[in-house]
Structure 1
Amino acid sequence: MSLIAEISEAAFATEVLQAGQPVLVDFHAQWCGPCKAMAPALEDVAREYEGLARIVKVDIDAQPGLAQTYSIRGVPTLLLVAGGEVKERYTGGLGRGKLSEILERHLEPGQ
C-alpha cells in the first residue's frame, strides 16, 4: 500500500497548505515517463519520513486548476510546502538522495 496520496483540488488546502508538517507535492501525469521513473524513490522517501513529512501527488490532467495556480509548466514538478507556503520548487526527475535532502531542510530540529 502506498503512503503517497493522490490529492484533489478540493483537498489541497487541508492536506497541503494547512498541514502541520512539510509536504512534498509531486505534480505529475499518467503519460509522463520521468514521473513513473521517480515513483520508487518517492515511495522510499515517504516510508523513511512517515510521521515527519508527507508526500502527495497531483495529477495535472485531473486537477488543471491546481496546475494553473502553481504555474506548472512541465512534469514532474515538485513543490515543498511548509507553513502554507511554497518554500522550494524543482522541475525534472530527482533521485532519492535529493528528495531526502529537500525534506531534511524543512524538518523541525531534533526530528
Structure 2
Amino acid sequence: MAATDADVDPETALETLIEAGAVDEAPDGTLSTTEAFEKTLAVYHDIYGAVSTEEFHQTVSDLFGVAPENVEARLDEFGVTRADVVAYLAAKSFLDAPVERDLLFVMAGLLVEMAPSSPVPSALDELDDESFESYLEARPDAVVLVWRRFCDPCDAMKEDLDAILDRVPDGVATAGVDGEAADEFCRSFDVESAPTLLCVRDGELRERASGRRTPDEVAAVLDRVY
C-alpha cells in the first residue's frame, strides 16, 4: 500500500463514477451513490465489513502486498479505514474497465463521503461505533434494533415499529444501528443479519432475535428479559 499519487484528479475520479452509473448528480449539484452501486457495496460489506481484525488485515495484505504484521501501521499512516477498503473493492468490481489503483483509492474516498442516508428510523436513537458503548453505559436497560438498506424483512418490520415500541417497558431505552456502517458494534454483539433485536439489561446482552418479528413476538422476548 502506498500513498495516493498527488497527480490523481478527484474530478476525473468523480466523472468516471458518474459515467459508470455509480454516482448520481442532482440538478442542484448534490451527489449520491446509486441504488445499483449500493447493492454492490452491500455485497462487499457483507464479505469484509464484519470479519475479525486479523482476517481484515490478511485481506489488505493479499490485496496490496503488505506484510500482515505491518498492515495496521500502514492503514494508520495513510488514514485508510475498513470502509475505504470495502468501497475500493466495490468500485473495482462495479466498473466495467480496469482502473489504476491510485484512481480507485480516490474513488473509494469519494464514495465513502457520499454514504447514503441511514436506514435507522427517526423514532430510535441512532448508535454508531463511536457512541454505542457510552450510550449503553448510561442506559443499561435498552432495546437495540439493527437495520440494513435494501432489506425487505427490515422494511416489513418498520411498518410495525410503532406497535413494537408500544410494547417496550417504561425506563427501557430504544435505539437503532445501521448494520452496514457500525462494524465494531456488529462484531461486539455477534450480529450477522438484519433485522436483529438485541435486549440489553443491566448492561449485559440478555437475548438476541434475528429476522423479522411481529409486535407480539417482540413482546414475548421483552417479557422474558424485562
| 1:82 alignment counterpart | 201
| 2:168 alignment counterpart | 49
2:156 is aligned, of 15, 18, 37, to: 37
| 1:23 alignment counterpart | 142
Instruction: Work out the CA distance in 2 between the residues paired with 1:48 and 1:72.
Output: 23
1:50–1:82: structure 2 CA closer, same or farther, 3 Å change rule? closer
Provide the alpha-carbon RMSD of the alignment. Answer: 2.1
| 2:131 alignment counterpart | 11
SS of 1:56 mapped into structure 2: strand
Q: One-letter code of the match for 2:124?
A: I
1:49–1:80: structure 2 CA closer, same or farther, 3 Å change rule? closer
8 Å CA contact retained: 1:27, 1:76: yes
Q: In the TM superposition, what is the alpha-carbon distance from 1:83 to its structure 2 partner?
A: 0.9
Q: One-letter code of the match for 1:89?
A: R
1:61 is aligned, of 180, 187, 191, to: 180
| 2:8 alignment counterpart | none
Residue by residue over 1:64-90, the C-alpha shift from the partner in whole angstroms, topping out at 9 and shown as x without a partner, is 111122221111111101111110011
SS of 1:105 mapped into structure 2: helix
- Percent identical among aligned pairs is 24
Q: In the TM superposition, what is the alpha-carbon distance from 1:30 to its structure 2 partner?
A: 1.5
Equivalent pairs counted in the alignment come to 106
Instruction: Work out the CA distance in 2 between the residues paired with 1:2 and 1:60.
Output: 16
8 Å CA contact retained: 1:18, 1:83: no
Q: TM-score, normalized by length of structure 2? A: 0.42
Q: In the TM superposition, what is the alpha-carbon distance from 1:50 to its structure 2 partner?
A: 6.6
Q: Which has the higher helix share?
A: 2
SS of 1:34 mapped into structure 2: helix
8 Å CA contact retained: 1:25, 1:55: yes
Q: In the TM superposition, what is the alpha-carbon distance from 1:97 to its structure 2 partner?
A: 0.9
Larger radius of gyration: 2
Residue by residue over 1:23-64, the C-alpha shift from the partner in whole angstroms, topping out at 9 and shown as x without a partner, is 111111122110111113233232453743222111111111
- Consecutive unaligned residues of structure 1, counting only runs of 5 or more, are none
Q: In the TM superposition, what is the alpha-carbon distance from 1:3 to its structure 2 partner?
A: 3.2
| 1:94 alignment counterpart | 213
Higher relative contact order (CA 8 A, sep 6+): 1
